[in-house]
């Protein structure tokens, strides 16, 4: 399909939002043109096979998770899935630790087996109560105390963003859980996985419709005046 006066929607941005919008509109019978300034679709979720045959996420790893079965069912029409649990380790004090902070982390800290009750008691003794946390440092020390804050958070935010946690909004670290059991998963969403053949392959299947035209290397401002577009959608 070439863009012409019969095109119903100009969709700006070929990332997750724009491509889903295009697929849904096309399936309903509308003609869509999707434009993106980049030379590929998928936005920051763009991936591909490198020369060694490895699927690479070009803008860093994108891990898919949701609690919505409706979303899973929708995307499953365009991809199979590789099920995964996202677990990580934190490196501090010259060693690796279980993270987010959980009972395993506490056992690594004290060097022996322990119980949820003992860890809970330790947290109560070490946390610094703050009724109204103002920043990320306040959030963490009010949850786990200064020792675990300095071990896992203070140096990381300085390295990652060049900012002390006291300079970061409280929402940045508030999303990181602290658990008193041995659950070491970073996320607890009911569905966690990766598209089996990658995000790009999934997106290409979504756009495989005669009512969709994809234009890459295109700034919408260069074409917006060329046709009497009926509707414009900015998906950024």
Residue 147's H or E segment, with its range, is helix 146-149
User: What does the pLDDT read at residue 236?
Assistant: 67
* Model-wide pTM > 0.75: yes
User: Does the pLDDT of residue 26 top 90, yes or no?
Assistant: yes
What is the average pLDDT across 114-139?
Answer: 96
User: Does the pLDDT of residue 101 top 90, yes or no?
Assistant: yes
Per the CB < 8 A criterion, the answer to whether 234 and 36 are in contact is no
Q: What is the mean pLDDT of the chain?
A: 93
User: Does the pLDDT of residue 81 top 70, yes or no?
Assistant: yes
Q: 1 pLDDT band (50/70/90 cuts)?
A: low
What tokens were used for 14? 């070929």
Q: 118 pLDDT band (50/70/90 cuts)?
A: very high
Residue 32's H or E segment, with its range, is strand 32-35
Q: What percent of the chain has pLDDT over 90?
A: 78
Per the CB < 8 A criterion, the answer to whether 145 and 127 are in contact is yes
User: Does the pLDDT of residue 146 top 70, yes or no?
Assistant: yes
User: What does the pLDDT read at residue 174?
Assistant: 85
Burial class (CB in 10 A: 0-12, 13-18, 19+), 98: buried
Residues 27, 211: Cα–Cα separation, whole Å: 8
Q: What percent of the chain has pLDDT over 70?
A: 99
User: What does the pLDDT read at residue 64?
Assistant: 95
What is the average pLDDT across 4-11?
Answer: 87
What is the average pLDDT across 137-158?
Answer: 94
User: What does the pLDDT read at residue 182?
Assistant: 96
Residues 178, 26: Cα–Cα separation, whole Å: 44
Cα–Cα distances (Å) from 123 to 99, 129, 142, in that order, read 16, 11, 9
Closest CA to 85 of 207, 203, 197, 183: 183
User: Does the pLDDT of residue 4 top 90, yes or no?
Assistant: no
Closest CA to 156 of 97, 226, 80, 87: 97
Residue 149's H or E segment, with its range, is helix 146-149
User: Does the pLDDT of residue 58 top 90, yes or no?
Assistant: yes
């Amino acid at each position: 399909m070439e863009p012409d006066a019969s095109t119903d929607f100009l969709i700006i941005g070929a990332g997750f939002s724009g491509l889903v919008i295009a697929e849904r509109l096309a399936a309903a019978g509308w003609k869509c043109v999707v434009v993106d300034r980049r030379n590929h679709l998928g936005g920051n979720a763009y991936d591909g096979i490198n020369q060694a045959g490895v699927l690479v996420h070009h803008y860093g790893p994108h891990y898919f998770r949701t609690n919505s079965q409706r979303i899973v069912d929708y995307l499953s029409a365009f991809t199979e899935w590789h099920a995964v649990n996202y677990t990580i380790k934190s490196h501090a004090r010259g060693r690796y630790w279980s993270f987010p902070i959980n009972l395993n982390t506490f056992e690594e800290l004290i060097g022996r087996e322990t119980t949820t009750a003992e860890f809970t008691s330790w947290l109560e003794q070490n946390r610094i109560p703050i009724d109204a946390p103002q920043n990320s440092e306040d959030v963490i020390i009010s949850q786990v105390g200064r020792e675990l804050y300095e071990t896992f958070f203070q140096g990381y935010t300085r390295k990652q963003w060049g900012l002390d946690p006291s300079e970061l909004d409280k929402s940045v670290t508030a999303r990181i859980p602290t658990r008193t059991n041995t659950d070491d998963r970073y996320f607890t969403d009911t569905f966690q996985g990766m598209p089996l053949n990658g995000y790009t392959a999934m997106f290409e299947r979504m756009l495989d419709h005669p009512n969709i035209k994809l234009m890459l290397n295109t700034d919408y401002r260069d074409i917006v005046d060329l046709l009497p577009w009926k509707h414009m959608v900015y998906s950024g």
